[in-house]
Structure 1
């Protein structure tokens, strides 16, 4: 697995944490349309691209913990 998530990306994913990669993608996409902040839109788009590029098995091996 070559996909690495930044701290910001991991924090975003941890907000929507679910065992299902597809559910996380769905939940993030639902929120994206309500975002006004350009940096958040960029972050969300980057995260969705990375989540789309990994398999469900790879996603299940990852641990997302929000950083303080």
Structure 2
């Protein structure tokens, strides 16, 4: 549901600030940081790699 749809349906969606979204997180320092166990949840690594591959192929077109 987009913000516009939420307003039209009479419901408002809570919007978190960037500070709230990233509280407690640490920046990725290197590709090796992403290779550690526990960085991605079940299935997220495959999704990330598929999206990355699609982005790289899109730049070639």
TM range (shorter): 0.3 to 0.5
TM-score w.r.t. the length of structure 1 is 0.30
- Which of the pair has more CA radius of gyration? 2
| Structure with greater proportional helix content | 1
Q: TM-score, normalised by structure 2?
A: 0.32
